[in-house]
Copies of this chain bind each other. A is one copy, B any other.
Amino acid sequence: CGLKKEKDDIALVYSEVPAVCALMSTTNKVKAAPVLWDKKVMKKTPIKQMVFINTGSANCCTGEAGYKDTEETAKFLSKLYGCPEDEILLCSTGVIGLPLEMDKLLSGIDKLKLSKSDETGLGAAAAIHTTDTKVKVAATEFKLGEKKVRIGAMVKGSGMIRPGMATMISVATSDVDIEADVLKKIFKDVTARTYNMVSVDGDMSTNDTAIVLANGEAGNVKITDAESPEAKIFKAHLLAVQTDLAKKMAADGEGATTLIETHVTGAKNEEEAKNFVRSINESSLVKTAVFGKDANWGRILCALGYAAGELDPTKTKLSIRSTEKLDLFDKGEILDYDDEEANKILEEDTVYIDVDLGLGEGEATGWGCDLSYDYVKINGEYRT
């Protein structure tokens, strides 16, 4: 619609019938207008029929005028599609503090055409990009009883990425028949283990939103209990789809050349394990070492040391791996390993960092990426 000069910039996800919806959004105290809108309409009803997304402006820090623009967008969509305003979710991503150009946006909405083709699906996933370089989608199909159930999802997010949540917009859709409360519970758990474990630069966005819509068209026996076998099957598949997207998001982090997957075991509890994972993945020094293919593992121990949680270096074990696993440090002592072999592991596309704290049963996995010249280039020149 012209908000972005050289690419598609708006997308609409539409369910032919109203769907139940779960939504998680940013915990940043500075919230964009569409985040406030979504919170309002989610309070009114979990039923949603469409998600409209624009890139080019985050519509954040745009004052009362910005919120009115969001309301006007919802009204416009409501009239055009005959859908109640309360059943419309809105997401914006782009520069903070830049007002939406409403004439461009509304005339763009006017030109949108609904279609179920792969082409439009992938087109929507690309239209919501800012600095993303790769289309990030995932899908799965499985059986609940006799019925085939599908989940499809897309995500955007590349910079301003930090758990809680990442700077991202994600829309997942499913034809599963499920109660709103059960969907909410499952989605919260899945998001905590996927999007909330991705770190690119430690900046938490003002616009993060993850959405799942479930419209019941699969015709399965309605899931009404989060502990039922069917709920667990659905949850496992949703987790697989969202994990896939979380990893794709980290791998496509701004300027990234390497995906880092950090796995911490032996922490006192899960919460502390998560703190340790994030501390490693957010450390600029760990990230630059991976970029430099330099197995300077002291920086990993350093990042562990300033995370919130119990740690005893004399019980800590550290390994890195790609195809091969290499132990570097154990029980307070440097191990006898080959430096070149260690550096070689860092040349792979995905690097795994494994830490065993030797204290308890707490365990967590998270994803990050290296810090390259291109991160600086992208973010030093983002607006121009």
Interface residues of A (CB under 8 A from B): 27-31, 58, 60-64, 95-99, 159-160, 162, 164, 201-206, 282-285, 288-289, 291-292, 294, 296-299, 301-306, 311, 313, 329, 332-334, 371-373, 375-377, 379-384
Please determine whether A384 and B301 come into contact, CB atoms closer than 8 angstroms: no
- The list of the 7 closest CB pairs from A to B, nearest first, reads A96-B298, A292-B380, A30-B305, A288-B379, A97-B298, A204-B306, A63-B333
Main SS of the interface on chain A?
loop
Please determine whether B379 and A160 come into contact, CB atoms closer than 8 angstroms: no
Inside 8 A of A381's CB, which chain B residues have their CB? 292, 294
Number of copies: 2
Please determine whether B30 and A297 come into contact, CB atoms closer than 8 angstroms: no
Please determine whether A332 and B64 come into contact, CB atoms closer than 8 angstroms: yes
Inside 8 A of A283's CB, which chain B residues have their CB? 202-203
Please determine whether B288 and A375 come into contact, CB atoms closer than 8 angstroms: yes
Which of A62, A305, A383 has the most CB atoms of chain B within a 10 A radius of its CB? A305
- Closest Cβ neighbor of A98 among chain B residues: B298
- A/B interface sample: 16 pairs, CB < 8 A: A63-B332, A96-B298, A97-B297, A97-B334, A98-B298, A164-B306, A201-B284, A206-B298, A206-B302, A284-B284, A289-B380, A291-B376, A292-B379, A292-B380, A292-B382, A294-B381
Q: Please measure, in the bound complex, the distance between the C-alpha atom of A206 and the C-alpha atom of B109, giving whole angstroms.
A: 55
Please determine whether B373 and A61 come into contact, CB atoms closer than 8 angstroms: no
Q: Please measure, in the bound complex, the distance between the C-alpha atom of A372 and the C-alpha atom of B376, giving whole angstroms.
A: 6
